[in-house]
A and B are shown apart, each in its own frame.
Chain A
Amino acid sequence: MRLVILSLVFLGIFAAPVTADPLSADEAFQLQVSKIADGGVRFDWTIADGYYLYRARISARSADGSERKVETPQGIAKEDPIFGVTEVYYERATATVPGASNQPIEITYQGCQENGICYVPQTKRIDPLTLAVSSHTDTSANVPSPDAAASAGAPEEPATGFSLAQEEGLVRSLLRKGGPLLVVLSFLGFGMLIAFTPCVFPIYPILAGTLAREGDRLTARRGFFLSAIYVLSFASAFSLLGAFAGWSGQNLQMVLQSPFTTGAVSIVFVLLALAMFGLFELQLPAGWVNWIAARTGRLEISKKSVAVLGFSSAFIVGPCVTAPLAGALLHIAQSGDMLLGAAALFALGIGKGIPLIVVGTMGASILPRAGAWMEYVKAIFGIGFLATAIWISAPLLPAGLDLVLWAALLIGTGTWAFSAARGNSGLPILARTAGLMAVIYGTILIIGAAIGSTDPWQPLATLANSSRSSKNTELQFASIASASELQNELRSASGQKPTLVYFTADWCITCRTIERSILTQDGVKQSLEGLHLVKADLSTLRKESTELMQQLRVAGPPTMIFFDRHAREVAGTRLVGEVTAELLSKSAAMVRSF
């Protein structure tokens, strides 16, 4: 364009330093060509941000003029209030022309710049042997264009052996529908939904414990302020972490879920519990407090410690990947749009915290005022903290040790309930009953640990399994750790079965829920029958597994990707975060129908 303008200036006819020049078609739709197994050719376009290709406008023919079959994956339904629905590709597009042939292939494609310009159809000729790309040429003027020479010299992209569905992505689709405001509002909503999942569970006792320590100073107003401060700092930490993780390309989970952080966090919980038991008063070192007080003055100490607590709580909840979190992280990583990503994560954090603020505000009236009751409440929170510590550290401990710890906690709690709950009225009897049950379950756990069980929910399963042989009940997953292993798995299933790739990790608490209560359901097992099951374990992160995640555009576990029998991901089937049996069965049914 610029060159033409210059020559126009030179000729004095039309002169145009044009503003906001659209990219050249070759910049907007960068084409790479590679060979596929059957001798056919695969076309991969990298589409610039804000540009798209029409699925229906991709066609191919042989140099002799005969049509060639083009296979394209499902596109994204682009909805336009005026023009209805067209199927388009954003960011990436793929087409394959199967079958070996000696004839050069001419591929034609067309796209537009969003709200800008629609390009003339682009035609490229591909030599089937050398894969050299040239702009469409006729016999009389067989001069390759400059970009053709560049493409021809470029190294061939390694074939990945699979194709991903063209998902527009959560953030992008929201952005298109309603701009940044809709993104932020939606994330606020997502946060509120997530607030009631196990993901966020650990932060409830933290805040509640802090509020409980306030004792009779706690009013609704104070409860509101403290919980609001807590939630604000929580959300800030969340957005900072997200922005950093996205910017650095590191996954938030990976940053947070090293055994080191997990260990440190569980120790923090144990300390919190001890504080609840009255062993010491929990506060920041006096030096820090003075330093902060000297500078901020008006804020009371408890507000500051709540802020610190909120900030650090993000480290505990952050690791839990959910669909919106994954969406925001992928958006930051892919677009580099840190501001919007961070704003979305901030809104997510606030959303997660809104129920907390409600609890914190009402807690003042719900929580008993003062006196001996307060001690009980604190003790119960202490027990909650210890439980959280065990829960978090379980993956770090030798298998079975967590059972012993749970047993110790349950027996200890039971014993305490017995000694603390006196009298023959309703409540103490209830407390003693609960205490007794805790002691009994604790005892069973110890037995379970002794006979080699590892699941605290089924401590005696080992006994049951030995008497009733049930070998076929567990789903069998093949393990992979790298992209090449995935390719092998997909190849082995090629043409026969669809494949499910499940990303999981020891440290992923949601994954454990899925494995324990979703994958064990008979209905789910039935729906997964006939699928080749592959598990990518991210418990120890290596370079290969990070690459695999990048290739599959996975933000973290749990993520389930469904490939059809031709190793193509089916649009709309990917599951991120917590799943239900219904969703899983639906995706499995969809992938099977392809």
Chain B
Amino acid sequence: MLNRRQFFATLIFAKTGASASILRATPLRAQGYPTEKDVYFDPDIPALGNPKGDVTIAEFFDYQCPYCKRNHPELMKVIESDGRIRLVMKDFPIFGDPSIYAANLVLASAAAGKYAAALEALMNTPARLSRQDVDATLKKVGLDPTELHAAYKKNSRQIDAIIVRNIAQANAFNLQGTPAFVIGRKIYPGYMNEKALKEAVAEARNA
């Protein structure tokens, strides 16, 4: 476990150019298991769906993971039809630099209240992305990638810390990859169809 976390830390900090000091400054909770509060109520990740919902779905995802993206419309459909689900999208970038870049810009768009629009736009792209693809996609929904990049630069400590926390939680849960859903008190690795999602939500409500 230690090795993989180390690997991710290097991956992220090498590619984003952030200093390793952030890693030390960020409390890594992997030594202990994350609490529900850690996973579902990260103060820096905007909640989607119904923010006041009675059940939270946390999804560990990557903007280039084909099954995350194929799963996304189904997930949104369930959330919409249910009406009482809170959604927390937890960036777990495993497909290299463009994924980290996309995560950074989308998280940076939260400051301007554009998080949901940016996330939706990027989830609706082909699986493979370049930095240029990310920029072009955000432009299409009326966001300025240059501004977002500036916003990320300004808040990079905070945004990098979100991703580091996500990765620490993913490692603590021993997640193998993306997508992985945490619903109620259960972890569901891999693609979840509508039925599975609904069942998981129902189970979480009954617990």
Chain A interfacial positions (CB closer than 8 Å to B): 1, 3-5, 7-8, 11, 13-16, 18-22, 24-25, 57, 80, 82-84, 86, 110, 112-113, 115-121, 123, 135-138, 141, 145
Contacts and interface: CB of A to CB of B under 8 A. Distances in A.
A11 B4 CA distance: 23
A4 B173 contact: yes
5 contacts: A16-B187, A18-B188, A25-B176, A119-B94, A135-B3
Given A1-B176, A118-B67, A15 B185 contact: yes
A63 B126 CA distance: 34
B31 interface: no
Contact of B185 (A4, A16, A83, A86): A16
A16 B180 CA distance: 12
A86 B2 CA distance: 31
B133 to A, nearest CB: 12
B36 interface: yes
B131 interface: no
A117 B178 contact: yes
A21 B33 contact: no
B149 interface: no
A345 to B, nearest CB: 33
Given A14-B173, A112-B67, A117-B178, A137 B3 contact: yes
A112 B34 CA distance: 26
A19 B197 CA distance: 13
Contacts of B189: 1, 18, 21-22, 116-117
A133 B86 CA distance: 43
Contacts of A115: 67, 70, 191
A528 B87 CA distance: 62
Contacts of B126: 82-84
Interface string B144-186: 0000000000000000000000000000011111111010011
Given A84-B126, A117-B177, A118-B66, A16 B191 contact: no
Nearest to B6: A138
A121 B94 contact: yes
A352 B188 CA distance: 48
B35 interface: yes
Given A135-B3, A136-B3, A116 B186 contact: no
Given A20-B190, A121-B94, A13 B185 contact: yes
Contact of A14 (B95, B179, B186): B186
Contacts of B4: 120, 135-136
B138 interface: no
Contact of A8 (B2, B33, B188): B33
A329 B185 CA distance: 46
Nearest to A12: B185
Contacts of A123: 7
B67 A117 contact: yes
B176 A141 contact: no
A376 to B, nearest CB: 67
B92 to A, nearest CB: 8
B201 to A, nearest CB: 15
A112 B94 contact: no
Q: Which residue, of A13, A19, A84, has the highest number of chain B Cβ atoms within 10 A? A: A13
A247 to B, nearest CB: 31
A18 B33 CA distance: 18
Interface string B68-102: 11100000000000000000000000110000000
B2 A141 contact: yes
A466 to B, nearest CB: 66
A11 B173 CA distance: 12
Contacts of B173: 4, 8, 14
A123 B24 CA distance: 23
